[in-house]
Structure 1
Amino acid sequence: MSFEDLSARYGMSAAHSEVVQACELVKPCKTLDMGCSNGRNALYMAQRGFEVTGVDRNAQAIEMLRQIAVQEGFEDLQALVYDINEANLGDDFDLIVCTVTLMFLEPSNVSAVLQDMQAKTRPGGYNLIVCAMDTAENPCPMGFPFTLGSGELKEAYEGWEFIKYNEDLGTMHNGARLQFATMLARKPE
């Protein structure tokens, strides 16, 4: 079954375009989807052979993802209730995906969350982040608790190899235009 059919069956939107692109570059591996919600990205990656753990603090979304995983036979997909603000990932991963999630965190916790993501990424592993920005040129039109400034994400990943990095304008699923920091970075071995 195609992912389009799978997502249509459960009323989900398509996997994030950056996740789709990352799956073309990164071989299936042990993966964490932070802020997975009902699992569109986790399911996309699981369908491509990734061993995925999806975490979100929304217990209803996690239960929905668990049910889908069982119904569709995704044995390598685990869904856990976890508040990302805790910055205390218990396991190590080869790929950590965090798309449009950081901006909903408590701002004072974001630095610790990024440090924890880096610490829990195995050598040679990857972090994929997409986060809204608020800059003088492109003020964020949405009231997110947290946004990145120019160069802030790149600075937080100093010493990593940037496979992709940009701070381009983009469109949210609701049609809002804003600037995003988008990064796929590889941890040194």
Structure 2
Amino acid sequence: MENLVNYKMLPVWDAKKLPQVFCEKYHIQEGAWVKLHIIAGSLDCEILTEQGEMKSQHYYDMLHQPPLISPLQWYRITKVSDDLQCQFAFYCQPEDYTHKKYQMTKTHSEVVLACQFIPKGKVLDLGCGSGRNSLYLQLLGFDVNAVDKSEQSINNLQQIIHNENLNHINASLYDINQANLKGEYDFIISTVVMMFLQPDKIPDIIHNMQAITKRGGYNLIVCAMSTADYPCSVGFSFTFKEQQLLNYYQGWEILKYNENIGQLHKTDIYGNRIKLRFATLLARKR
């Protein structure tokens, strides 16, 4: 469980209040683990196949606690003692935390990949939106400054920070088009943000990002493109052309650059998700 995080605790239930759903064929959703803690009494449990056939039977009490229940595992509670008291706790991978707890879009995959080797430090989330990436980064131990021009998004994120008493993240209003941020950062991210900014401000925004990145620090940018083979049909204010983003980072160590095809959540008139090329860059300042 050392790499999992708790995203939900259910109430303490006794024998009379234990929901019937757990006494029938039940399974844990994908990406979730469950820990059942017995506070008093005992219960019998069966591990099942997907077809409902019994694989094994188990008895648990305060001295013999149930093991962690894996995602998609089928089981049912078959018998409980009259003095039973128990509680279910739900866990997930850190990158799924905001999705599971707040129904946010999942942490951007490029942020998850980058964090596999980028050391903990001070992060700027430029255009944090709901805070999906910022909350993930602070969960890993980064000190995060999250900025966005949406007052509603920042207010919601500040409420989460307050409710969870988070000490490694700050959220504030900021119009990225101003391109006048100060400070020093080890890691600056801007994922699917620049296509909503003013086209004439993009050079200044990138130069501002680069200027406040510490030597040895990292920039991660993901932004939609408009190319001959995949012209942008969505009303974005800005899209990159081929090699345009890469050209801004001459002199930096390019750890990753591609212009791969990706899908928007937005669909076309036939209900198909719109495909575009996305410029993805991860670079280290020399």
Same fold? TM cut 0.5: yes
1:162 aligns with 2:254: yes
Separation (CA, whole Å) in 2 of partners of 1:98 and 1:136: 25
1:147 aligns with 2:245: no
Identical-pair percentage: 46
| 1:130 CA displacement | 0.2
1:110 aligns with 2:208: no
Structure-2 residue corresponding to 1:82: 174
What is the number of equivalent residue pairs in this alignment? 188
Query: Comparing both structures, which one devotes a greater share of its residues to helix?
Result: 1
1:33 aligns with 2:125: yes
Structure-1 residue corresponding to 2:283: 185
Structure 2 regions of 5+ residues with no counterpart? 1-5, 7-91, 267-272
Structure-1 residue corresponding to 2:116: 24
Query: Comparing both structures, which one devotes a greater share of its residues to strand?
Result: 2
Normalising by structure 1, what TM-score? Answer: 0.96
Q: SS at 1:176's partner residue? A: strand
| 1:5 CA displacement | 4.2
Separation (CA, whole Å) in 2 of partners of 1:128 and 1:33: 10
| 1:173 CA displacement | 3.1
Q: CA distance change for structure 1 residues 5 and 121 in 2, over 3 Å: closer, same or farther? A: closer
Equivalent position amino acid for 1:173 in 2: H
Structure 1 regions of 5+ residues with no counterpart? none
Q: SS at 2:115's partner residue? A: helix
Separation (CA, whole Å) in 1 of partners of 2:223 and 2:210: 16
Equivalent position amino acid for 1:97 in 2: I
Q: SS at 2:202's partner residue? A: helix
Kindly provide the CA deviation profile for residues 11-55 of structure 1, in whole angstroms up to 9, marking residues without a partner as x. 211100001111112111100001101100000111000100100
Structure-1 residue corresponding to 2:72: none
Q: SS at 1:172's partner residue? A: strand
Question: Relative contact order, CA 8 A, sep 6+: which one is greater?
Answer: 1
Structure-2 residue corresponding to 1:15: 107
Normalising by structure 2, what TM-score? Answer: 0.64
1:44 aligns with 2:136: yes
Deviating beyond 6 angstroms after TM superposition, the runs of 4 or more aligned structure 1 residues are none
Separation (CA, whole Å) in 1 of partners of 2:218 and 2:97: 28
| 1:122 CA displacement | 0.5
